[in-house]
Chain A
Amino acid sequence: MSALLEISNLSAKVGGKNVLNGLSLTIGAGEVHAIMGPNGSGKSTLSYVLAGRPGYEITGGSVRYRGADLLSLPTEERARAGLFLGFQYPVEIPGVNNVYLLKAALNAKRKASGQQEVDAYEFLQLVRAKMKLMQIDESFLKRGVNEGFSGGEKKRNEILQMLVLEPALAVLDETDSGLDIDALKVVAKGVNSLRSSERGVLLITHYQRLLDHVVPDFVHVLARGRIAKTGGKELALELERRGYDWVLEVA
């Protein structure tokens, strides 16, 4: 079976500056990978390049997702093909309510895979169950997307969207930042509930503490736009203890 995601020698520029410099990473089905690294190492750039954000110029390399060329697809088709980006800073969209976005997103995905639109009753049941898991009050459904949400609420809302869309590959960009320990546990529970032998997860994080709750199969250190070191979950603990400098020196 081919890998879920295969990034080969990927280089990318933002605002004329090289941020990714020959990054290679393979994620197999059923695997959870964590990418750690200092500020400015290219972590968020990687997530945006994978999702297809405008303004990020690919200067070399390739990304194959389920065997197909991911970079040739527009953002919306990547999403419908099962790629989900959990934003570090989810944007507020007053005037578009959460439940509308959830339903439109789910239907876009179903339509792309030849399924019928979701039945209104079934949809509500599904969303309610996931909201309960994420400890989100039902009143959130009728509020504008992320409008007036606290930092923690926004992150839980990202995970809620992920649970409703059930992506094959979830890229979570610093989903743990700004969370208190209780919220972190809720988010971790959500991510863990999605783990399965068919799915992959890429966790981008600054800190080790999320990895206590979502235990990764692989930990990578990103430095200067490429993977500087790869290890198991124990690497995260070592980074927590020793910082990044020793890895950067070796790299």
Chain B
Amino acid sequence: MSALPDIALPTNRDENWRYANLRPLAKAKSDAIAAHDPATPVDLPAILPDYERWVFIDGHYSRELSTDTDASCARLIGVREAGDTLLTMLDLDLAQAGVDFSLARVNGARGDVVLHIAPPDRAQARIEIIFIASAAAAAGTSYPRVQVHGGRSSHLRLVERHLSAGATDPLVNAAVDIALRADGIVDHCRVQNCADGAGCFDTLTAHVGERATYRLRTVTLGGIASRSTIFVKLAGRAARCEFSAAVIANGSQGHDVFAGIDHVAPGTSTRETFRGIATDRGKLAFNGKMIVRETAHGADSDQSLKSLLTGSGAEAAARPQLEIYTDKVSAKHGATTGKLDEQMLFYLLSRGLDRLQAQALLQWAFIEETVSQVELAPLRLEIEQLIATRLNEISRLEGLVTNS
């Protein structure tokens, strides 16, 4: 990473960081947490069938909690090697774009190891990574690091989870970099369900090659403050990105997403869906920036950003942004912010459902569109349960699962 400059922490004065709650970042100790055993036992989710599992505690690999990964296309490498790899596998300006925003690289030389995942040409791989934050922010920061280098026509199914155990206010600063060669596919599902006091920051870059597809499904539930900074570059002809984000901000949680998707090559396409629910004094922000370059003839982008507010102090700012430099393009976008539909609520009440149940059901219905895009059934079920819990109505929503 030495090739990349060191930069200062972002501030709310920067337009692209206006809605992020940066207090946990400022308060935390920025040193990486030393390797240690977690103080409290870690409660891991059930193993996903056919997936290998890599577990990291405060950024450090845990062999005991991981499955046997001898035959894996993933391996651990040092941060320096990873920095070099990053520069070779990504074009420099994407890495540089990341730097302008990146928290990940503020302390780039810190952290321990990087999980480097490289499915060879035509290979299939299923990998689940679990990052557990167990130490308090006062003790340091956890730096999860992942690199993906997908071979030609390879297909990687990647599940990335962020959980916490023990500390109620950990600080996580994750970095994921993805590069996909021609005809490759990455199905990336990220679930962030850290403790309610956690600070969760991440930077994600993806470079998508010719006819390759990057699918990103994110579910953001935990943390007092979270910020995802995402850059996707559709660099090869007919490269495609599908991104759906489900976000729930309860109490005084604040979640912020910046997603910049850059259409460089002809025939590139994007489908972006954001569904956010803010209750109580929860705050949501989603800044979806679509860039279509002069070279991207026939590009096709579609953004649908919707927020639902159910508390008097809840706020949402969902902003589609388009920067288009060619005429031969189709760019659709829509952003709405609203409350629960009174007619739907009355209909459910008129069938005898109680008010809390009816409200939870309508919130569920609102966010379901994004969750249904998670293809892996056991994971989707788990996410449905997590969301039901967040809506505080788990028993009331029991049995409400999508039938695929």
Interface residues of A (CB under 8 A from B): 51-54, 74-76, 78-80, 85, 87, 90-91, 93-97, 100-101, 103-105, 108-109, 112, 142, 144-145, 161, 165
A137 to B361 Cα, complex, angstroms: 24
How far does the alpha carbon of A53 sit from the alpha carbon of B350 in the complex, in Å? Answer: 9
Roughly how many angstroms separate A80 CA and B353 CA in the complex, as a whole number?
9
Indicate which residue in A79, A85, A93, A109 contacts B362 across the interface (CB closer than 8 Å): A93
Closest Cβ neighbor of B369 among chain A residues:
A95
Tell me if B4 is interfacial: C-beta within 8 Å of chain A. no
Contacts of B365 in A (CB 8 A): 93-96, 144
* A-B contacts besides A51-B346, A104-B357, 10 pairs, CB < 8 Å: A54-B342, A76-B355, A79-B349, A85-B350, A91-B343, A95-B366, A96-B364, A97-B402, A112-B352, A161-B351
Separation of A105 and B348 alpha carbons in the complex (Å) = 8
Interface bits B365-386 vs A (CB < 8 Å: 1, else 0): 1111100000000000000000
In the complex, the answer to whether A93 meets B344 with C-beta atoms within 8 Å is yes
- Inter-subunit contact A80/B342 (CB<8 Å): no
Docked CA distance A78–B352 (Å): 8
CA distance in complex: A51, B345 (Å): 13
- In the bound complex, residues from chain A placing their C-beta under 8 Å from that of B41 are none
Is the beta-carbon distance between A95 and B399 smaller than 8 angstroms?
no
Contacting residues, chain B, for A109 (C-beta < 8 A): 352
Contact, CB under 8 Å: A87 / B347: yes
B403 touches A142 (CB 8 A): yes
Partner of A79 from B351, B355, B403 at Cβ < 8 Å: B351
Contact across chains for B354 and A108 when beta carbons are under 8 A apart: yes
For A80, the closest partner residue in chain B by CB is: B352
Q: A146: nearest residue on chain B (CB-CB)?
A: B347
Distance in angstroms between the alpha carbons of A194 and B372 in the assembled complex: 38
Per the bound structure, the CA–CA distance linking A108 and B355 in Å amounts to: 12
Whether, in the assembled complex, B26 has its beta carbon less than 8 Å from a beta carbon of chain A, the answer is no
Q: In the bound complex, do residue A91 and residue B351 qualify as a contact, i.e. CB atoms below 8 Å apart? A: no
Is the beta-carbon distance between A76 and B349 smaller than 8 angstroms?
yes
Q: Smallest distance from the beta carbon of A182 to chain B beta carbons, Å?
A: 26
Query: B400 in the interface, Cβ–Cβ < 8 Å?
Result: yes
Q: CB-CB < 8 A to A76: which residues of B?
A: 349-350, 352-355, 358
Interface size class, chain B: 20 to 34
Does the CB pair B352–A108 fall under 8 Å? yes
Q: How far is the CB of A52 from chain B (nearest CB, A)?
A: 8
Q: Are B344 and A91 in contact (CB under 8 A)?
A: yes
Which chain B residues lie closer than 8 Å to A144 at the CB level?
365
Residues on B with C-beta less than 8 A from A161 are: 351
> Within the complex, which residue of A51, A97, A103 is in contact with B350, where a contact is CB–CB below 8 Å?
A51
Q: Is the CB of A108 within 8 A of B403?
A: no
Query: How many whole Å from A44's CB to the nearest CB in chain B?
Result: 13
Please name the residue on chain B nearest to A142 by beta carbon: B403
* Residue in A95, A104, A108 whose beta carbon sits within 8 Å of that of B368 in the complex: A95
Nearest chain B CB to A83's CB is how many angstroms away? 9
Known: A54-B342, A93-B362, A95-B369. A100 touches B399 (CB 8 A): yes
Q: How far is the CA of A28 from the CA of B402 in the complex (A)?
A: 43
A108 touches B353 (CB 8 A): yes
Complexed CA–CA distance, A91 and B403 (Å): 21
User: Nearest residue in B to A89 (C-beta to C-beta)?
Assistant: B343
CB of B202, distance to nearest CB on chain A (Å): 28
Note all chain A residues with C-beta closer than 8 A to B355. Answer: 74, 76
Minimum CB distance partner of B354 in chain A: A76
Give the complex CA separation of A75 and B347 in angstroms.
10
Determine the distance from Cα of A87 to Cα of B368 in the docked complex, in whole angstroms: 25
A109 to B349, CA, bound (A): 12
Chain B: CB-nearest residue to A143: B403
- Cβ contacts A to B, 25 pairs, < 8 Å: A52-B349, A52-B350, A76-B353, A76-B358, A78-B350, A79-B349, A79-B350, A79-B351, A79-B352, A87-B347, A90-B347, A91-B343, A91-B344, A94-B368, A95-B365, A96-B362, A96-B365, A101-B348, A108-B351, A108-B353, A108-B357, A109-B352, A142-B403, A161-B351, A165-B351
Contacts of A53 in B (CB 8 A): 346
Which residue in A78, A97, A104, A142 is a CB contact (below 8 Å) of B353?
A104
Closest 8 CB pairs of A and B: A95-B365, A79-B352, A108-B352, A95-B368, A105-B351, A75-B349, A142-B403, A80-B352
CB distance from B77 to the nearest CB of A (A): 43
Report the bound CA distance from A66 to B25 in whole Å.
Answer: 62
Complex-state Cα separation, A85 to B350, whole angstroms: 7
Residues of A within 8 A of B344 (CB): 91, 93
Q: Which of chain A's residues have a CB closer than 8 A to the CB of B341?
A: 91
In the bound complex, how far is the Cα of B348 from the Cα of A145, in angstroms?
A: 10
Give the complex CA separation of A52 and B347 in angstroms. Answer: 11
> In the bound complex, what is the Cα–Cα distance between A90 and B351 (angstroms)?
12
Bound together, the chains give a CA A51 to CA B355 distance in angstroms of 15
A91 contacts across to B, CB distance below 8 A: 341, 343-344, 347
**Which residues of B in the span 180-205 have a Cβ within 8 Å of any Cβ on A?**
none
Residues in B whose Cβ lies below 8 Å from that of A165:
351-352
Residues of B within 8 A of A80 (CB): 352
Identity of the chain B residue whose Cβ is nearest the Cβ of A141 in the assembled complex: B403
Q: How far is the CA of A101 from the CA of B347 in the complex (A)?
A: 11
Q: How far is the CB of B308 from chain A (nearest CB, A)?
A: 12
Instruction: Specify which chain B residues have a CB less than 8 angstroms from the CB of A105 in the assembled complex.
Output: 351-353
**Which B residues are in CB contact (< 8 Å) with A97?**
400, 402-403
- Cα A80 to Cα B403 with chains together (Å): 28
Contacts of B354 in A (CB 8 A): 76, 108
A54 to B342, CA, bound (A): 9
Interface positions of B from 245 to 260, Cβ below 8 Å from A: none
What residue of chain B has the Cβ atom nearest to residue A83's Cβ?
Answer: B350
Shortest C-beta distance, B299 to chain A (Å), equals: 29
Alpha-carbon gap, A94 to B366, bound state (A): 8
What are the residues of chain B within 8 A of A85 when measuring CB–CB? Answer: 350
Contacts A54-B346, A91-B343, A95-B369; A101 near B351 (Cβ below 8 A): yes
Distance, CA A95 to CA B363, complexed state (A): 9
